[in-house]
Structure 1
Amino acid sequence: MRKLLLTLALSLSAALPAWSADQALIDAAKKEGKVVWYTSLIQDQAVRPLAKAFEAKYPGVKVDAVTGKTSELLLRITDEMKAGALQADVHHGGGAAQELLAKGALEKFIPDSAASFPADLKDTDGYWTAHVVNFLVPAYNTDMVQGGDIPKTYEDLLDPKWKGQIAWAASMSQGGPPGFIGTVLGVMGEEKGMDYLRKLAQQKIVNVPTNQRVVVDQVMQGEYPLALCTFSHHSDISAAQGAPVKWAALGPAVTNTIDPIFLLKGAPHPNAGKLLIDFIESDEGQQALAKANYIPANPKFRKEGSDPKAFTLTPQLIAKDFDRWVSIYNELFK
């Protein structure tokens, strides 16, 4: 059924007139002539196709894409702001949004093209909109974990057979144990959540000093039968290549670490920046991201089986509670 709905959504979006921004915004963007986009998206897979499609739709507005690692781009933006010589118009990323929001460095803008997006994918204060989502889920080796042993709920992870058998990347980020802890507390509530985390700590989770992708590789190789806090698309890509790995959608909700896109305060080309964000959130932009194997924010363009019920870690929630999540990890799991 989900596959049919996705096919219908793609067909309808192709049949209906393409989304177009307000003409006044288009005219203002053309006067500026270009938009500078600092992005960590994969260049050949996503950045170039998006830029090409945008420039074809809005001739006269050039996309100047500066690609790199998230941490490096954020440092570049903060250095430019300190020097009073900001070059970037548009950037993205949960950690970046969190830090820049705290500095008052974002401009309010929610594009009309995201009007139908779920409420938790748009900032209630108007500063950002998710353009990509990432689901943090357990990954398991399909040769070692089968049938009724596949965990379906958080409580299933407390089964004695998993003691010392579960791993996670010891990454102190929203995509690591702190994000898992935040989700548990958000889904279960403070009292039940802390009680659960204390019980989970008795399972002796293996802290692996690496990133999530490497842990999935170790699961595939049979070093661990099960790992927490892995990105669902990593397992999907590997499974499609024949690797013995799948991911499980824990109930009642897994972690959604959104990738918000936003306009920088003092952007040299603010209207062109708004136009690019509007395009990326439109059906055309979301389809391009889906084609590039990202999970688009717009649910109607997500592939069948890639859309579990999830609890969203917003930049504001992370800013408020992240340090506490880390302290809980240090107390119970380190």
Structure 2
Amino acid sequence: MSLTIVKSCAVGGLAAALFIGTAAPSFAVDQALIEAAKKEGTVVWYSTLIVNQLVRPVAEAFQAKYPGITVKYSRTPAGEMALKLQNEIRANSVQADVFDANSAFFRAMPLENLVEYKPEAAAHYPDDLKDPKGRFTAVNVFTMATGINTNLVAEKDRPKSYEDLLDPKWKGKMAWTTDLTPNGPPGFIGNILVTMGEEKGMAYLEKLAKQDIAKVPASQRVVLDQVIAGQYAIGLMIFNNHTVISAAKGAPTTWLKIEPLISTGNYVGIIKNSPHPNAAKLFEEFILSKEGQTVFQKASYLPADPDVPADDPSLKPKQGGYKATTITNEMALEQLPRWTEIYKKLFP
């Protein structure tokens, strides 16, 4: 996993353009923290997010705001990142300062390895988006939805409830990823059990298992691409913003508001004994601030900040006017093993 360095001279007008019309942050970062971060001069960010779409723009925006602090970053899947960091910790040679990752990271990373720091920028975030001790805070959220091929699913036939997915006409025509995280089948199962209750939920899942849902051993994006290509009519557990991005390019796809949808988080935190602890705190404050969250918005991600809408406001539950079950990090850590066991049993 190699590190990429963003040079300040490469910022150009991009970062500045991102902030035109952006509201000023509602808090002032402590000047002492800024000065301490500038003395360190560098922040190292391990990320799971797409480099060209988001990581690089965030790094450029941060450097534009805080000249003299260089952002080094690398991208890797959450589970692999946790293992790499644990190796660094055991070797007493921590390289990363700050990370972002989903629940797969926290299943492998003991929370005692994370710094307890409550960023002021996230003081107004809902409690279900942050750890009470400050060890992690949601930096962006995902809305998992049902995506369809609009050429294969007529408007009159579009499922409006989870029960509609049991219609015989969809047998063998649905697909989902094999990703065993809250963003995959286990998250779907958890939502059903939370929504319907244990007995009714299990009865529903047993019926759904008879629909012969195709298991695609790839990402949610690949599942949607196969739906768009016509291999399947319906994709379950699809990132709703991906359908909007594809539809804007002319693809025959949209997402359905089958309630409740599933909302999950991607979290940012700081590693203990990192080489640049002050720069890490400053970076976390920035990425969670309205300025930083606006970069997520412009990149078509869903900002975690409840006051920053998505680029398409309908993609987030509050602005979109729909209900969603929030699978918190704590819920995932506690319940994901059972949801995964149910998935493996019913959908072998």
Answer whether TM exceeds 0.5 for this pair.
yes
Aligned-pair CA distance for 1:213:
1.8
Equivalent pair of 2:79/2:105 in contact (CA under 8 Å): no
Where relative contact order (Cα < 8 A, 6+ residues apart) is larger, the structure is 1
1:286 aligns with 2:293: yes
Equivalent pair of 2:104/2:181 in contact (CA under 8 Å): no
Match of 2:273 in 1: 266
Cα deviation code 1:70-111 (max 9, x no counterpart):
444333212111101101110011135413553521111231
Q: 2:96 aligns with which of 83, 88, 92?
A: 88
Aligned-pair CA distance for 1:285:
0.4
Aligned-pair CA distance for 1:237:
1.5
Q: 1:43 to 1:301 in 2, by over 3 A?
A: same
- Which ranges in structure 2 are unaligned for 5 or more consecutive residues? 1-17, 318-322
Equivalent pair of 2:111/2:135 in contact (CA under 8 Å): no
- Which ranges in structure 1 are unaligned for 5 or more consecutive residues? 1-9
Superposition TM-score, scaled by structure 1 size: 0.89
Q: 1:53 to 1:85 in 2, by over 3 A?
A: same
Matched residue SS, 2:144: strand
CA–CA separation in structure 2 for the residues paired with 1:60 and 1:231? 37
Identity %: 46
Match of 1:307 in 2: 316
CA–CA separation in structure 2 for the residues paired with 1:17 and 1:222? 45
Match of 2:250 in 1: 242
1:327 aligns with 2:336: no
CA–CA separation in structure 2 for the residues paired with 1:13 and 1:217? 35
Aligned-pair CA distance for 1:126:
2.5
Aligned-pair CA distance for 1:142:
0.5
Q: 1:39 aligns with which of 18, 22, 47?
A: 47
Superposition TM-score, scaled by structure 2 size: 0.85
Matched residue SS, 1:301: coil
Cα deviation code 1:19-58 (max 9, x no counterpart):
5312232233223222211113222332222222212222
Equivalent pair of 1:98/1:316 in contact (CA under 8 Å): no
Match of 2:158 in 1: 150
Q: How does 1:14-33 map to 2 (within 5 A)?
A: 14=22, 16=24, 20-33=28-41
Greater alpha carbon shift after TM alignment, 159-168 vs 280-289: 159-168
Cα deviation code 1:142-190 (max 9, x no counterpart):
0121223212222221223222322212232332111111122223332
Equivalent pair of 2:42/2:276 in contact (CA under 8 Å): yes
Coordinate RMSD, CA, aligned: 2.3
Q: 2:181 aligns with which of 155, 160, 173?
A: 173
CA–CA separation in structure 2 for the residues paired with 1:50 and 1:202? 45
Matched residue SS, 2:22: helix
Equivalent pair of 2:309/2:316 in contact (CA under 8 Å): no
Cα deviation code 1:210-259 (max 9, x no counterpart):
332222122112221112111112211211111111111211x2112210
Match of 2:302 in 1: 295
Matched residue SS, 1:64: strand
Equivalent pair of 1:286/1:297 in contact (CA under 8 Å): yes
CA–CA separation in structure 1 for the residues paired with 2:247 and 2:73? 32
Match of 2:198 in 1: 190
Matched residue SS, 1:323: helix
Q: 1:295 to 1:332 in 2, by over 3 A?
A: same
Aligned length: 324
Equivalent pair of 1:94/1:314 in contact (CA under 8 Å): no
Matched residue SS, 2:172: coil
Equivalent pair of 1:98/1:318 in contact (CA under 8 Å): no
Match of 1:160 in 2: 168
